[in-house]
Amino acid sequence: MRPGGATGPECRPIPGGIILPGLAGGGISLRRRAAGWLLLLMLGPAAGVWARPLEGPPPGLAELLPAPRVEAAGAVLAEAVSGQILALQDPDESRPPASLAKLMTLRLAWQALTRGEIEPGELVIVSENAWRTPGSRMFIEVGERVSVADLLRGIAIASGNDAAVALAERLAGTEEAFVARMNAEAARLGLADTRFADSHGLAGTEAGAATTALDVARLAVQYLRDHPQSLELHSTRRVTYGLSPGGIPITQENRNRLLWRYEGVDGLKTGFIAEAGYHLVATAEREGMRLVAVILGAPSEAAREAQAATLLDYGFANFTLLDVGRQLEPHGLARVWRGKENWVRVAPDDITRVTVPRRQAGMVEVDVHPREHLFAPVRRGQAVADAVIRLDGMELRRIVLRAEEDVERGGWWKMATDTLRFFWLRFTRRLEPLPGEGTTPAVAEVAAGRQSGLGRDRHWVTS
């Protein structure tokens, strides 16, 4: 339901989900059935994940896994390891981002730290502009020197608007210049329905600020994949910084109350302005599966927490993360014609995990789709085949198998004999059978927690 009581469409489950743009996280490799499989044909590039549209569930799936309706303007449930969306409700409903804008501010800050442009212990001088920023505050003072690490804590834990402006000014000179960077990064990530107007999220529709639950999910998952160490901050329940007029240290609690109330929750961010309603991005990890629940425009703090918990419950109860590559050899062999070598090793260009409904986990299959014969020269990274993971005939994800090494053209004799042999075999229809052509059942295993790659690095900051 939307705020005000209007009933929205049922949250739509998408088993196996849709690849979040830029976040493809599953894949397969070729199984060796005998002394190596021979790949003779080449598939073109797989469809770009950014261009793949969101699709509704196939017939009968809504009855199999009915997703709960939530009291929010928009909602998305995604799995971050595989990069798949599991449920949608009004995902394109536009709202000002409120403090969810700070996820982009933090993303740019982590990028700057990674590039060495700033250091955690670097001291930032607080401007009057930052000090005067209204709303939630870290309580930094004009002229005070605050470390980058403390500013990150102030943004992630206390949701300090003043800290966001101070960090933005340090990174770009002015907040306006920083906002331009935020919007450029949003465009790079494909967040077509998102526009930022400030570094902290106080701006509303009149200022042009806007986002959607789907864009927030994309940003949150990319943020977690690129900067998993940020969970050390987002999971912290309280932060102490500054002194009250009476000289008492100021301690503020994280506004994400699910950190106390939901098993496994270790992030991510809350947001609120009157025009937008109450937002929450909640993330939790269990058994290696990391879910991200996005709630936009809930009517209250309690409602956003309850609705996020409802989506997380649905995800953990009904889906599981499988590694379909465990029972498939990570390397295959592709036949190369006219090359110095007759074979090239190929491997998937992505990880091999996929999120599927628990009840249908045993129905996962692997399709290998070659397209044309492979002739030298072959370059490392060249697409050799396209592997598709299917669930009961429904495509879950598509992974490109790529050459792991270069193969140069052979000498004139090798090229001549290979050409004659190729055309003779083709003419007589005696070319070797394509390995893996057709459907190969994949024995899927539940991914171990250590495989998720989204754990926390507890040593990123200095005091």
Span 118-175, pLDDT tens digits: 999 999 999 999 999 999 999 999 999 999 999 999 999 999 999 999 999 999 999 9
Catalytic residue selected from 99, 136, 199, 452: 99
Q: Which superfamily, per CATH, for 20-59+324-449? A: D-Ala-D-Ala carboxypeptidase, C-terminal domain (2.60.410.10)
Q: Is the pLDDT of residue 207 over 80?
A: yes
pLDDT in tens, 234-273: 999 999 998 888 889 999 999 999 999 999 999 999 999 9
Q: Per-residue confidence at 370, pLDDT binned at 50, 70, 90?
A: confident
Catalytic residue selected from 29, 94, 102, 269: 102
Residue boundaries of the structural domains of the chain: 20-59+324-449, 96-275
Beta-carbon contacts of residue 405 (< 8 Å; ≥ 6 apart) = 344, 345, 380
pLDDT in tens, 16-40: 343 333 333 333 233 322 222 222 2
Contact 95, 210 (CB under 8 A): yes
Joined tokens for residue 439: 């459907």
Catalytic residue selected from 94, 127, 159, 452: 159
pLDDT in tens, 2-20: 333 333 334 544 433 433 3
414 is catalytic: no
99 is catalytic: yes
The verdict on whether omega for the bond into residue 377 sits within 30 degrees of 0, i.e. cis, is yes
127 is catalytic: no
Q: What is the CATH number of domain 96-275?
A: 3.40.710.10
Q: What is the DSSP string of 410-437?
A: --HHHHHHHHHHHHHHHHTT-PPPPTTB
- The single-letter code of the amino acid at 410 is G
